[in-house]
Amino acid sequence: MKNFIILFSLVVCFSAKAQDYPRVVTPGNGAEPPSDAIILFDGKSFSEWEKAGGGDVQWKLADKAMTVVKGAGSIQTKKSFGDIQLHIEWRIPANVSGEGQNKGNSGIHIQNWYEIQILDSYQNLNKTYVDGTAGSIYTQSAPLVNACRKAGEWQTYDIIYMAPRFNSDQTLEIPARITVLHNGVLIQNNFIIKGTTYNKSGYKPHDKLPLQLQDHGNAVSFRNIWVREL
């Protein structure tokens, strides 16, 4: 009887631990996303996107990429998100002109409110304010290092984002945090976001919101965009 009780206890213990195993996800291979990713852009259509504020996307679609058309407006996902892992590839045109914030400018707005800057910042040759360079949490945190490739070459951002939490009275409970890898290099390390991009001293209470890609007047291209909800 004693041996039976020990054996039964071991079986119960093993079963409980088996239930705690993490969910299986098949990793991506090369440019392929992991098996649980939501594909936001595969180079074929704008089916997951709309113009910011509503309406059809008017950007250019060619060569499995989408490209900003000046004056067409920013675009946003039809779905809304909270905590995410985001992969996105972007390219500034090789013949980009201008200087400072007018050279290859675009941005990725997480939950519409928090911007990761896109800019031609290769080797720091394009002079602008340091927290406005590529990889910045715009006007809040400069990247730890400059991992930019030349204009005309594809670049990647891999972003881990934890959304802010708000109390029942709409006051801030926990601020947003963000980690960014640029071309595989860590450039933002669990940075605590201070507030919205244009009001870094404060937050506006919100729930899940779309991702937005900015039309800043430059023909920046995007491809291979996917997200995992965390």
**Greater model confidence, 79 or 15:** 79
Mean pLDDT of the chain: 93
User: pLDDT tier at 2 (50, 70, 90 boundaries)?
Assistant: low
21's enclosing H/E stretch is none
Give residue-wise pLDDT tens across range 7-65.
555 555 555 566 789 999 999 887 789 989 999 999 999 999 999 999 999 999 999 99
Integer Cα distance of 222 and 153 in angstroms: 12
Q: Which residues contact 181 (CB under 8 A, 6 or more apart)?
A: 156, 157, 158, 159, 187
Residue 201's pLDDT is what? 72
| Residue 111, both tokens | 């939950």
Integer Cα distance of 191 and 179 in angstroms: 6
Domain annotation for the chain: domains and CATH numbers: 37-229 (2.60.120.560)
Residue 19's pLDDT is what? 75
| Residue 132, both tokens | 């406005």
User: pTM of the prediction?
Assistant: 0.90
**Greater model confidence, 181 or 200:** 181
| CA 187 to centroid of chain Cα atoms | 13
Integer Cα distance of 177 and 83 in angstroms: 10
Give residue-wise pLDDT tens across range 88-101.
999 999 999 999 99
**Greater model confidence, 199 or 210:** 210
Residue 176's pLDDT is what? 98
- For residue 47, give the nearest of 78, 75, 68 by alpha carbon: 78
